[in-house]
Amino acid sequence: MRNESLSEAFRPALNVIFPLEETMVGIDFGKPLFTSEEIQRKIHELGSRISLDYAEKDLLVVGVLKGALFFMSDLLRSLRISVRMDFIHCTSSKGSHPVQIIADMKEDIRGKDILLIEDIMDSGVTIDHLKKMLLDRNPASLKVCVLLDKAERRKVPIEADYAGFRIPNKYVVGYGLDYKDRYRNLPYIAVLPMEERQA
145 bridge partner residues: 117, 162
What are the Cα distances from residue 160, in Å, to 26, 117, 118, 124, 146?
Answer: 34, 10, 10, 9, 7
Which residue in the list 74, 113, 119, 122 is annotated as catalytic? 122
| Cβ neighbours around 172 below 10 Å, total | 25
Helix (H, G, I), strand (E, B) or coil at 118: strand
What are the Cα distances from residue 112, in Å, to 46, 101, 118, 121, 179?
Answer: 21, 21, 19, 24, 34
Active site residue 122: yes
Q: CB–CB of 55/82 below 8 Å? A: no
Active site residue ranges: 122
